[in-house]
Structure 1
């Protein structure tokens, strides 16, 4: 019988058929999971706001900045703001070394407070440049939350539940996005875009729960003294050392593909629907835009929950390859077929595919913690999931220029399908970690 080495000895592959008695989490483990779930959900709650009300926000803020709010300018400055957001997200890699040096909990609290405060301040913007500045600073907080939540959960929960809960954890971000869509669908006319951003202060309330109930995971606590004796930059040197450089670069490139797809497609779905509503004369534009965002989010949640099963059946590489294929089909169908045809029902038909493909990020929630040891796990997670945003920021800005030049979002956004095809060729750069325990 084939055996698999893991911490504490060996276990047989056949043992997976008999998982043994159910594993129960203690109170500290449950609090760690739900605190992380809540933080990541509030991250998605905030993240969705910028895409959902992008068109009405720019329509109001461009004229005071001396810019006409036509389709080309809304597309260009929308992509510019997206590029700045990604640049801010790239700066949030600093939360990783902070978490490895001082603990997972303080880094999580700091990131939540930062994105919560600056999202609320975005609601007071009087011109497009102030709004972009607030969006940039918000991103510095948002970018750290995924790394903090995923690292904390991976280290805190029982090993047998780690992969399963990793998929559930990542669905939290899209639960938050769905919540934003539902709120705007129900109260959008009363709130307006300013009111929606002011709700961004709500995640700050979660800090009270985390401070009171969340403890540092035992894996980090056992090495805390060693971590505190090292320099803040030591984890950054470790992830680029000879044994880890190849996988770190590979993760950066793969995540760069994911982010370009996310910002060029899912973020622009509400804008695409709003534009088609105007062109076709359909009614209930804000409601249809919210419905489109909600459909995409629901199917991404389904994909996230299914990720642990796919990752075990197909391997981490195989699961990511499947999601990349779905993204390719969804992008082509939405922007190369439905949008040029001005066919709203067809666009909505492709949204489930696009939504499922968007679960590609959930693979990394499971995969990244398995590739690095405790002393620099948070740094590796934060570095690869944030610096990749800088690569994507360049691509997003180029898309903005293309949208402005063509006067349409169709061809530029459809072309991002090529990024996912290229991503399939990069998969061998990152090691397969299926059936391997979390390294110490």
Structure 2
């Protein structure tokens, strides 16, 4: 009883947030939400967009060509994400908030331009540059919240921040259910450019974190990329790269093909095309809600059992749920309901990304933190781009998307053997 009383008293006496910290969080959260919305808009409009653009590019809009072209374009998008590591050194040198605003502005403009594409080549260019902007948002938002929020609140702040990405998934699904069904894929891309102005206005009025301001003079002389690959940080940098690569492969294998899988299952169940699209939106909404719950459940678990054990739990859950959804339910005669049920489980454990928002800042000092965060996430996206291309080729050759996606569960098993090499930072304060 006393421990419960102490815990309740601790919750009541948490350090209050000032106006700048609150505004900065909501600006970062809004940017991350729009980031998630932008990313998932592509998955939702993949089939209708390519069905229109492939004939304009000289290719038949067959299911096989749509699948292959979609994977190639998504691989380009991930390469753009990978190149986003350039934002990290800029943020370590010039500050978190203004560079974060620059990433949001970049992906907003080129998401809007995607609505004007006349062929797959133009769409590929726009998505590539949008990826460069989107890729930097997470690293800078995560770094900002970790540095700006008080020590006793930043762990839950990481969980709250990560919910934004999946709130963006939910928002994209809601827009697809309304705007997409009635006005088409071009209108969906346009929605990705509209609300971003609010996030930029907020971020431009927010103060830089005090931790960064104290190291600003050091940042002018430091070479953060060389430092994170040097003797001090080399091991934790490469272990973090490997773990993030695994998380990214699993997230995108499931998320990108989830709408297509639901549409196929809904069509097989006798639904019309509009009904199948709406069902994909509903399934995506459930996936998003489950992931938000997974994000919020993660920080308390990481504080109780540690960062490494928490990631192991979430990775094991991802492996099981990917196989359950794509390897089993997808092939059932009446698999729509079981598939969506497994999607909810997959969504919960997809909240593993919240751990990286909490854990990565704890592993690096302030002068190199944004560079390390951006480098580790970018490395995973480069590898993810290659895996996504191979996955598209496998879907084309096997004439099914279930088994190829289910095979990606293997990477989470590999991840369980890599986790022990990472540092355990539970109970440690954010290094200066």
Q: State the TM-score, normalizing by the size of structure 2.
A: 0.95
Which of 222, 235, 240 is the equivalent residue of 2:224?
Answer: 235
How far off is 1:118 after superposition?
Answer: 0.5
Which of 56, 78, 92 is the equivalent residue of 1:86?
Answer: 78
How far off is 1:212 after superposition?
Answer: 4.4
How far off is 1:422 after superposition?
Answer: 0.5
Does the alignment pair 1:302 with 2:293?
yes
The match for 2:18 is 26
How far off is 1:21 after superposition?
Answer: 2.1
SS in 2 for 1:380: helix
Residues 35-114 of structure 1: pairs in structure 2 closer than 5 A: 35-114=27-106
Unaligned segments of structure 2, at least 5 residues: 1-5
The match for 2:261 is 272
8 Å CA contact retained: 2:28, 2:141 = yes
Which of 324, 328, 353 is the equivalent residue of 1:333?
Answer: 324
8 Å CA contact retained: 1:71, 1:408 = no
Q: Deviations over 1:141-176 (max 9, x none)?
A: 000000110100100011100101110111111111
8 Å CA contact retained: 1:338, 1:347 = yes
SS in 1 for 2:395: helix
8 Å CA contact retained: 2:14, 2:152 = no
Distance 2:332 2:71 in 1: 23
The match for 2:376 is 384
8 Å CA contact retained: 1:99, 1:378 = yes
Distance 1:204 1:339 in 2: 37
Distance 1:293 1:59 in 2: 21
Q: Deviations over 1:243-286 (max 9, x none)?
A: 21111101111111111111111221101111223333223011
Does the alignment pair 1:423 with 2:415?
yes
Distance 1:437 1:259 in 2: 27
Distance 1:384 1:16 in 2: 35
8 Å CA contact retained: 1:260, 1:392 = yes
Distance 1:70 1:355, change over 3 A: same
8 Å CA contact retained: 1:105, 1:210 = no
The match for 2:388 is 396
The alignment of Structure 1 onto Structure 2 pairs a total of residues equal to 424
Distance 1:17 1:295, change over 3 A: closer
8 Å CA contact retained: 1:123, 1:195 = yes
Unaligned segments of structure 1, at least 5 residues: 1-14
Distance 2:200 2:235 in 1: 40
How far off is 1:127 after superposition?
Answer: 1.0
Distance 2:315 2:141 in 1: 24
* Higher deviation after alignment, 106-115 or 202-211: 202-211
How far off is 1:418 after superposition?
Answer: 0.4
Distance 2:226 2:419 in 1: 24
Which of 136, 139, 153 is the equivalent residue of 2:131?
Answer: 139
* Higher deviation after alignment, 58-67 or 17-26: 17-26
Residues 213-228 of structure 1: pairs in structure 2 closer than 5 A: 213-228=205-220
- CA RMSD across the alignment: 1.6
8 Å CA contact retained: 2:306, 2:424 = yes
Which of 150, 163, 167 is the equivalent residue of 1:175?
Answer: 167
Distance 2:340 2:246 in 1: 24
How far off is 1:192 after superposition?
Answer: 0.8
Q: Deviations over 1:55-109 (max 9, x none)?
A: 1111111121222222222221221112111111000000000000000012101
* Higher deviation after alignment, 349-358 or 335-344: 335-344
Q: State the TM-score, normalizing by the size of structure 1.
A: 0.93
How far off is 1:130 after superposition?
Answer: 1.2
8 Å CA contact retained: 1:112, 1:203 = no
Residues 231-380 of structure 1: pairs in structure 2 closer than 5 A: 234-283=223-272, 284-342=275-333, 343-380=335-372
